[in-house]
Amino acid sequence: MGTQNKQQVQIGDWVKLQSSKGERIHGYVEKHTGNNQVLQLRVVTSDNHLLAGHSIQVQLDKLERETPFTRYTLAELEQLIDLALLTNDKAWFDALSTQYKHLHSELTEIIT
């Protein structure tokens, strides 16, 4: 990953990497550690199923930042809203709620 991309990795960013054993890991950045080259990652999915749901520390240069999604289904937005509530992320909750309302009104117009 280039130097610019490394500096752009922030808390909440979705990332992927491959472990030293070749296992694919996918998750999001929870926090920066005291060392600027190490981040704490919440593993969402992994070839190593024991890692899923746990936090791990990873080297910044091992991460590849995921391209953010721009469009979700209503069901996906509902799940993300629940996650925003669980993490007490008001800004994310507000943004997701706005997307949900907009998509819901679009779908209502199509149906009627």
Nearest to 9 by CA among 72, 75, 62, 69: 62
Report long-range pairs for 27-32 (Cβ below 8 Å, ≥24 apart). Answer: 30/55
Contact 14, 92 (CB under 8 A): no
With pLDDT > 90 as the criterion, what percentage of the chain qualifies?
Answer: 60
Contact 14, 68 (CB under 8 A): yes
Global confidence as pTM? 0.58
CA 72/CA 100 separation, integer angstroms: 9
What does the pLDDT look like over 32-53, one tens digit per residue?
A: 887 778 999 999 999 999 999 9
